[in-house]
Amino acid sequence: MRTLVSSLKKAAFAAVAGLALFSAAPSAQAANLLELNFGLFGPNYEGRVGSCESALWKITYQFKDKEADFWNSSLQFTGFSHVRETAFRPWTSDNIPRRYCSADAMFTDGKQRQVHYSIIEDGGLAGYGDGVEWCVTGLDRNWAYGPKCRAAKF
């Protein structure tokens, strides 16, 4: 009997201590007028994504910069051929519009490799302009897009 009473006292003490902790926390308040989300609108994508050829200059610049800065390499593109679209908005229309493309590229080492890339509407810096994500098969040294640029393809 004595153990039952002492157990009940301990449980009651723990309950009172827990209530005291929670009652000391500030209570939630509704947002004031300036904190409301009025005037904010959801994404308004129009499906205007540049052509596959329009992103090649950006890929060329970014590839040259990445090779020089991260891999200490002077490898560069010398030209592109067989530029083709592989998909446009492949998912539902509610998603961010993307154009998936592939191209054959020649490099300064004399080798030809495939480039897989996507052009993303409003995907540029701070949402301005088209963004480009790309991968060169055989030169994805950190496998950011998986083996053979699998994640960059559609």
pLDDT of residue 91: 80
What band does 129 get if pLDDT is binned at 50, 70 and 90? Answer: confident
**135: helix, strand or coil:** strand
Specify the higher pLDDT residue, 145 or 16: 145
**58: helix, strand or coil:** helix
Whether 35 shows a pLDDT value over 70: the answer reads: no
Task: Summarize pLDDT for 53-81 with one digit per residue, the tens.
Answer: 999 999 999 999 999 999 999 999 999 99
Task: Summarize pLDDT for 8-24 with one digit per residue, the tens.
Answer: 666 666 666 665 555 55
Whether 154 shows a pLDDT value over 70: the answer reads: yes
Dihedral of the CA atoms 129, 131, 132, 133 (nearest 10)?
180
Rg (CA), the chain: 28
What's the pTM? Answer: 0.70
Specify the higher pLDDT residue, 111 or 129: 111
Task: Summarize pLDDT for 92-116 with one digit per residue, the tens.
Answer: 777 889 999 999 999 999 999 999 9
pLDDT of residue 120: 93
CA distances from 73 to 58, 62, 67, 137 (A): 18, 13, 5, 16
Specify the higher pLDDT residue, 122 or 24: 122
